[in-house]
C-alpha cells in the first residue's frame, strides 16, 4: 500500500526548514546505510546529532501527530526520529530494501521498520530526476510530490531514487513501526476507516456507522501489537 499524505508541513514550515537546512553542514549519506545499501547510495545527509536535525525532527513528528490521515494509514507504535538528506546533480540511490530493524542513535531503543516515509522539502520544479521508484504489486511506481507532502510505503519494498540531473532534492526520511505489522491487514483497516468516515459524513447518524466502527475496532484488537 502506497499512500500520499498531503500538507504534512505548511508552506511556512517548509520555508523555515529549508532555511535551516541550506545553512547546515551536510555529511556523506552512507553514514546510515547498511553494507548492501552503501554500495548504491550517493547523497548527502544531515548528521543525526546535529542540532538542526534534532529541531526539525521534533517538528516533523509533531506534524505527523496532527495528521489524521497519517495516523489512520500507519497506525504508528514507534516513529524513528526523522532524518534529512539532499541529492544534488549526479547523486542517486540504487535499488535496495531498508533494514528491518533500526537502532535509535544514543539509546537502547529499536524500531521495526514496517513502513518507510519520505517527506518532500523541495518542490518538483526545483530539480530534475530524483523520483522515488517503489516496486509495487502493479509494477514500479514513480513518486515526486510537492514540498510538504509525504509518501508512505511498505519498508519491505524494493525502491530507489533516480539520479538528479538538475537542482537539489531535499527531503526528510524515516521509518514507522506500526501497531499492525502486516501490510495487508493495515490496508484493510485503512480502507474500512475511510469508508466509515465517508458514511458518517454523507449519512450522519446512520446505524451502520456504529456497527462498522465495532468491526474496525474488533479487527484492530485482533491484529494490533501494543
pLDDT of residue 196: 97
What's the fold here for domain 183-223?
Answer: DNA Excision Repair, Uvrb; Chain A (4.10.860)
pTM for this model (two decimals): 0.93
96 belongs to an annotated ligand binding site: yes
Is there a binding annotation on residue 169?
Answer: yes
Q: How far apart are CA 117 and CA 222, in angstroms?
A: 26
The C-alpha atoms of residue 109 and residue 32 are separated, in whole angstroms, by 16
Measured between alpha carbons, how far is 145 from 129 in angstroms, rounded to an integer? 12
Does 217 show up as a binding residue in the annotation?
no
**The Cα angle at residue 189 between residues 188 and 193, in degrees rounded to 5:** 120
Place of cell 501494543: 226
198 annotated as ligand-binding: no
Other C-beta atoms within 10 Å of 3: how many?
17
The alpha carbon of 206 is separated from its chain's Cα centroid by a whole number of angstroms, namely 35
pLDDT in tens, the chain (226 residues): 999 999 999 999 999 999 999 999 999 877 665 556 667 889 999 999 999 999 999 999 999 999 999 999 999 999 999 999 999 999 999 999 999 999 998 899 999 999 999 999 999 999 999 999 999 888 999 999 999 999 999 999 999 999 999 999 999 999 999 999 999 999 999 999 999 999 999 999 899 999 999 999 999 999 999 8
Specify whether domain 3-178 bears CATH 1.10.1040.10: no
Residue-range domain boundaries for the chain: 3-178, 183-223
Amino acid at each position: 500500500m502506497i499512500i500520499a499524505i498531503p500538507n504534512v508541513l505548511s508552506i511556512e514550515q517548509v520555508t523555515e526548514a529549508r532555511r535551516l537546512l541550506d545553512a547546515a553542514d551536510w555529511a556523506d549519506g552512507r553514514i546510515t546505510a547498511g553494507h548492501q545499501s552503501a554500495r548504491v547510495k550517493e547523497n548527502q545527509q544531515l548528521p543525526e546529532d546535529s542540532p538542526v536535525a534534532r529541531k526539525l525532527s521534533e517538528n516533523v513528528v509533531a506534524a505527523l501527530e496532527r495528521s489524521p490521515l497519517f495516523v489512520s494509514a500507519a497506525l504508528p507504535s514507534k516513529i524513528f526520529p526523522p532524518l534529512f538528506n539532499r541529492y544534488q546533480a549526479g547523486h542517486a540511490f540504487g535499488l535496495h530494501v531498508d533494514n528491518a530493524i533500526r537502532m535509535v542513535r544514543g539509546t537502547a531503543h529499536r524500531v521495526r521498520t514496517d513502513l518507510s516515509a519520505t517527506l518532500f522539502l523541495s518542490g518538483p520544479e526545483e530539480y530534475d530526476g530524483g523520483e522515488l521508484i517503489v516496486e509495487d504489486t502493479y509494477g514500479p511506481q514513480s513518486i515526486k510530490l510537492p514540498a510538504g507532502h509525504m509518501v508512505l510505503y511498505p519498508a519491505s519494498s524494493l525502491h530507489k531514487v533516480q539520479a538528479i540531473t538538475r537542482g537539489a532534492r531535499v527531503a526528510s526520511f524515516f521509518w514507522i513501526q506500526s501497531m499492525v505489522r502486516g501490510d495487508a491487514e493495515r490496508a484493510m483497516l485503512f480502507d474500512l476507516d475511510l469508508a466509515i468516515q465517508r458514511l458518517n459524513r454523507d449519512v450522519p447518524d446512520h446505524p451502520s456507522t456504529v456497527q462498522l466502527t465495532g468491526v474496525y475496532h474488533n479487527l484492530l484488537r485482533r491484529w494490533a501489537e501494543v
